[in-house]
Amino acid sequence: MNGEYIHTLLNKYWGCQTSPSEEKELQDFFLGENVPNDLKCYIPLFRYRDEQQSLSLSPGFEEKIRKQIKKSPQYITIRIFAPLLRIAASVALIVALGISLFLISKQDASKPYLTETYNDSDAAMHQAAFAFEKLSRAFEISESVYIKTFQEIDKLNLDWPGMDSINIEKPAPRKKIDL
């Protein structure tokens, strides 16, 4: 291939203006043997693209996943208490709804919902800072729970590399078609 033509294609490629057939031409050129010295730095890019297109899951990957799932302990107690937890949650929701309706009906209608409660700006700032501190503490607690959850997941001793194994197969040689 003409070196000037390859440089033109590369400029179009870097500008995201190449067609799929032009990208294929570039890939075929850089996978070939006759690459000029000034363009050899691009060979790893096009080899990488070629190798990535040939990645596939290893045979038996799905079976490995199923074995790992079967290995993990099953907690039957959760299944036994699940209906009771649903009933308890429903009762708690109904009670909370009833109490809130009762409290709403007992409110004084002449009292406005939104009023300015602070005449002193320092007191308002103090209360706002207190609220933000509480919010910050809640975020810290949720972060610690998040970390503990991942630690518990790590304790399951799953074979993560075994589940993530993939096979890199060499692609079949491409046939060059002259048009």
pLDDT of res. 13: 86
Mean pLDDT over residues 149-160, rounded?
76
Q: Say if CB 151 and CB 56 are below 8 A apart.
A: no
| pTM: predicted TM-score of the whole model, two decimal places | 0.32
pLDDT at 5 over 90: no
**Long-range pairs, 63-71, Cβ under 8 A, ≥24:** 64/159, 64/162, 64/163, 64/165, 65/163, 68/158, 68/159, 68/162, 68/163, 71/158
Q: Say if CB 55 and CB 170 are below 8 A apart.
A: no
